[in-house]
Amino acid sequence: MPHAALDVVADPIALFRQWLDEATASEVNDPNAMALATTSPQGMPSVRMVLLKDVDARGFVFYTNKQSRKADHLAAARNAGLLFHWKTLRRQVRIEGPVEDVDDAEADSYFRSRARISRLGAIASEQSRPLPDRAELERRLAETDALYPGDEVPRPSHWSGYRVRPVLIEFWQDMPHRLHDRMVYRREAGTGWQTTRLYP
């Protein structure tokens, strides 16, 4: 069934949450999956899929190894782009903005919520670095498992999260005859969100 045309709303984060809830009800896998775009110190763009773990008025949060390639990029250029694409709903959302670190309390809380094997993996994996073979990863995981035999697995200092603080959010949805609906929200200092409808 075709979508109704987008209405202007005061709070694009609330609209995003509504779309994410609808995606959660319709998408088969990972409705919180998003493409994360960064830029290398040499200016080369790079993109990969990560999972959204929190969203509120402050921004969009994901977690990673701080020694990874994406973290190197974010250390050099503290800006990122995000893209959500919900194929079943024929919708996408683009987000752009500066990036900040989440605080230790947030990172600790999320780390504790992960499955034990995932917490062990965060310690054992040297993310983005060359791996001689799969057996080496499994060996490191076994060593880490033996080091922390109980459920208490400490968050490693090199594992934490980032928050993308949006200055631009674009909502796109499919409409008949490729006359798609596009609405852009830009955060202006002192005036809040300003809205522009775009040609498809």
Q: pLDDT per residue over 2-52, tens digit each?
A: 788 888 889 999 999 999 999 999 998 999 999 999 999 999 999 999 999
Whether residue 1 lies inside any domain: the answer is no
Instruction: Specify the pLDDT at position 89.
Output: 95
178 an active-site residue?
Answer: yes
Q: Which two tokens stand for residue 56?
A: 């509120």
Whether residue 149 lies inside any domain: the answer is yes
| Cβ neighbours of residue 21 closer than 8 Å, sequence gap 6 or more | none
Q: How confident is the model at residue 1 (pLDDT cuts 50, 70, 90)?
A: low
Whether residue 4 lies inside any domain: the answer is no
Whether residue 46 lies inside any domain: the answer is yes
Whether residue 7 lies inside any domain: the answer is no
Range of the domain at 171: 12-198
In the chain, how long is the greatest CA-to-CA distance? 59
Whether residue 3 lies inside any domain: the answer is no
Q: How many domains does one find in the chain? A: 1
Question: What is the pLDDT averaged over residues 150-173?
Answer: 96
Whether residue 181 lies inside any domain: the answer is yes
Look up the CATH number of the domain holding residue 177.
2.30.110.10
Whether residue 84 lies inside any domain: the answer is yes
Q: What angle do CA 141, 143, 149 make, to 5 degrees?
A: 95
Q: Which of 58, 178, 182, 197 is catalytic?
A: 178
- Give the integer Cα–Cα distance in Å for 67 and 18: 34
